[in-house]
Amino acid sequence: MTAKIDTEIRHITPAGGNIFADLGFDEQEAKALHADSLRKIENTLAIKEKLMEEITLWISDKNMKQADVATVLHISRPRVSDVVNKKTNKFSIDALVNMLSRIGKPVRVSVG
């Protein structure tokens, strides 16, 4: 006998909603957790945008075609466009750091 897996969707937190409130945290804690998560997301996006900006500057300085850039970065040509257009959701920080390393721009981390 095979157990049936319950896949019924009971609630969806709307975009921009507070998932912590939906999970049952009290209002004050839910607001604090939500604000903290938004700060973390904003910080991550800022890091990705800066890394993408450095890659884009390199492409511009070298005046390279996207196909040639793709070869150097070990990505597809459409992904080069994603970098240039700062589509941050398509790349991890690790992937961007690796691309910068491939073009001779090692990344140094500063905390503070």
* 20-75 residue pLDDT tens: 999 999 999 999 999 999 999 999 999 999 999 999 999 999 999 999 999 999 99
pLDDT score, position 61: 96
Q: Helices (DSSP H) in 1-112: which residue ranges?
A: 19-22, 27-62, 66-73, 77-84, 93-102
pLDDT score, position 110: 87
Q: Are 52 and 83 in contact (CB under 8 A)?
A: yes
Q: Are 14 and 5 in contact (CB under 8 A)?
A: no
pLDDT in tens, 69-97: 999 999 999 999 999 999 999 999 999 99
Q: Could you name the CATH architecture of 19-102?
A: Orthogonal Bundle (1.10)
Residue 70 exposure: Cα atoms within 13 Å on the Cβ side: 11
**Cα dihedral sign for 82, 84, 89, 94?**
positive
| Per-domain residue ranges of the chain | 19-102
pLDDT in tens, 14-25: 888 999 999 999
